[in-house]
A and B are shown apart, each in its own frame.
Chain A
Amino acid sequence: MAMNTIGRPTAAVANDAAAPTTFSGARGLLQPTSLIFETGSIDRTGVDLPPVKGVKSRLGGVARTTSTGNPGLSEPEAVRHYVRLSQRNYAIDLGMFPLGSCTMKHNARLNEKMARLPGFADVHPLQPVSTVQGALSVMDQLSHWLITLTGMKAVALSPKAGAHGELCGMLAIRAALDAQGQAHRRRVLVPESAHGTNPATAVQCGFIVDEIKAAPDGRVDLSDLKTKLGDDVAGIMLTNPNTCGLFERDIREIADLIHAAGGYFYCDGANFNAIAGRVRPGDLGVDAMHINLHKTFSTPHGGGGPGSGPTVLSDALGPFAPVPYVVTRTDGTLDLVEHEVDSDGEPFGRMVAFHGQMGMYTRALTYMLSHGADGIKQASEDAVLNANYVQACLKEHMSPAFDGVCMHEALFDDSWLEGTGVTTLDFAKAMIDEGYHPMTMYFPLVVHGAMLIEPTESESKASLDAFVASMAGLAKAAKSGDTARFTGAPYHAPVKRLDETRAARKPVLKWSPPVEANKIAAE
C-alpha cells in the first residue's frame, strides 16, 4: 500500500510563541467590523430595481433631491455586518447571565415554536374579531393565569414593559382617587431601595415622591413609613422581594397602614420570579402590580425581544382598567372591549394603540401551560435555592450585604475589596474575561459597591459550580494583589476597557461622514 508520507502533519506542534498580529485585522473566527456607514458605499446596492417609467411625481416641491446618506451594501455585506456584530454579543443562549433584578432565564424553544404559528404570528390588529378567536383565547387564558397566580381581580394586558405597567397601575390609582374626590392626594411613598423607574413613574403621573428609609436589615423602616403617612398620601410603591433580594416581612402591616391612611398599594412585580406560585400578591394587600412577562414568564428580553408588562388590579382598581380587554359574549365567542362607552367599568383610557405584544402573550402562556401551576411554583423555589447556593458558596470569599437567607438574588457589598485597589466595576470587567455577563453593580444604591447576582432557576448545579469557582478564583486573585487582572480587564473581550467617563461626558451619538466622502457624494 502506498502511504503518503509527505502530506500535512497530523499532530499539533507545541507552540509557545505569542499570537501574531494578522494582516486582515481578523482574529481567527472573529472578523473585524466597522460601522455600517463605513462599510457601505454609494456604488453598491442589495436590490436592483428597474427605473420607474411614466410616473409623474405628485410630491411637487417637497420631493427630496439630495441623497438620504444611507450606506449602499450588497446583501452579503449587510448580512455579514450584522452576523459579525452578533458574534460579539453576550446572550443567555451563550452562557449564564446573572444580571440581578433582570431575571435572565432561559426562553424555552417551545415558546418560540408556538409564537411562530401563523395564527398568532401573522394576525393583524385590525382583523375582524371573528377571525382571531384563537389569539383572543390566548389573551383570555393568559389573563386568567395572571389573575389566578396573583389573586387579583382584573388585568390590563396591554402595557409593553415593566415601567409601562407601572404607569398603568399608577394611572389606575390616580383615576380611583379622582373618582373618590381625593384628587388632593399627591404624595407617593417610595423606599430608598426601589427600582429607579418607581419614582420616575410617580412623577410622570403628577405625584410627588417621598422617600422611605431602609432599616439596617435592608427592609422598609416601618417607623419611618408611619411618620410619612397622612391624608395627602396617594399610595406606596414597593417591590417584594425588594431589590436587596429580601422579602419584606412586614408587607401585610405596610398594606394595612397604607389602606388605613386612604392610599393604595402599588407593588413592583419585577421580582415576582421569587414568589410566583407560592404567594399571591392579592393576599398581601396589593392593589396594583405589573408582571414582567419577559422576566418571570421567560419571554426574551435584553435586546432579544420586546418587553411586556401586564398589570393586575385589585377589586378597588379593577373598574378603572384601561381598554382593550377580552370578554366572552353570551354566544360563547370572544370579543374585545375597545371603547370606554361599551365597557361596564370606568376605564382611564388606553395604554397602547392596539392590543399589546401578541408574541409575548403566546410565549408566556406556553411557559405557563408547559410548566403548570406546580412547575411555576417549583421554578420560583429553584430560583431562590440557586441564589442561596451562590450566596452560601461565595460567603467566605465575598461579603454578603445582609445576614441570613436571600430570595432569588444574592447581594454582596464591596467591603471585602477594601484595600485591594480593586473596585466593583473592575471586578465586573474581570467577569467578562471569565466568560460571564457581569452581575448588576452599584445597585441597589443603599448597599456600597453593590453586586447583585440573580442566577435564576435555569442554571444547573454544574453551571452554578463553574460560576462560583470562577468568582472565588477572582476573589482570591483580588485579595492576593493581582490587581492588574482587574484594572486592565477585560483582556479577552472583542472590545477592551472603555472610557466610560469620557463616553458619558462627551457622547458621540451620531456618525458624521469624513469630509472627503462628503465631497465625493456632492459630486
Chain B
Amino acid sequence: MTTKYTKDHEWVSVSGDIATCGITAYAAEQLGDVVFVELPNVGRIVSQGDEVAVVESVKAASDVYAPVSGEVVDVNEALAETPEGVNEAAETTGWFTKLKLTDPAELDALMDRAAYDTYLAGL
C-alpha cells in the first residue's frame, strides 16, 4: 500500500485499484475543529483536482480536491454524524472517499511522505 500527498494537503492511499482519500493531519490541525463534512454521492466520476468534498471548521469552509481521477465507490458516512473523526485520525479512520482509479499514473506526480514533510517544513 502506497500513500501519496498533494500540495493541497490531501492524502491518497492505494490498494489494488482502490484509492482511499482524505485530508492530512496538518490540514486538520490548520482547520481547527471540524464541524461538518459534505461528501460526494457514490458513483460520481471525478477528475484529478475536482472538488470532491467540503470540510467546514469553526474557522472556515474549504474544498477538498480529488487527488486522483476515478469513480467514487465509497464514502465515510460516519463523518456526517461525527465530523470530529477528521481531527482525531485524519490519515486513518478519518478518510473521506474511496475512488476506483482510472489513471494510476497520476500517482507518480504526487509527493511521498518524505517529500510532503519537506514541503510542510517550507510553509
Contact = CB atoms under 8 A, between A and B. Distances in A.
A196 B33 CA distance: 20
Interface in A397-419: none
A442 B36 CA distance: 18
Contacts of B56: 504
Contacts of A500: 33, 58
A501 B33 contact: yes
A64 interface: no
B60 A445 contact: yes
A504 B35 contact: yes
A56 interface: no
Nearest to A424: B59
B87 to A, nearest CB: 9
B84 A442 contact: no
Contact of A505 (B59, B60, B61, B84): B84
Interface centre among A425, A445, A504 (most CB of B within 10 A): A504
A321 B43 CA distance: 42
B83 interface: yes
B40 to A, nearest CB: 16
Contacts of B59: 425, 442
A501 B35 contact: yes
Contacts of A445: 60
B102 to A, nearest CB: 22
Interface of A: 196, 425, 442-443, 445, 500-501, 504-505
Given A196-B61, A500-B33, 11 more contacts: A425-B58, A442-B59, A443-B60, A445-B60, A501-B33, A501-B35, A504-B36, A505-B33, A505-B35, A505-B36, A505-B83
10 contacts: A425-B58, A443-B60, A500-B33, A501-B33, A501-B58, A501-B84, A504-B35, A505-B35, A505-B36, A505-B83
Interface of B: 33, 35-36, 56, 58-61, 83-84
7 closest cross-chain pairs (CB), A and B? A504-B35, A501-B33, A442-B59, A505-B35, A500-B58, A501-B58, A445-B60
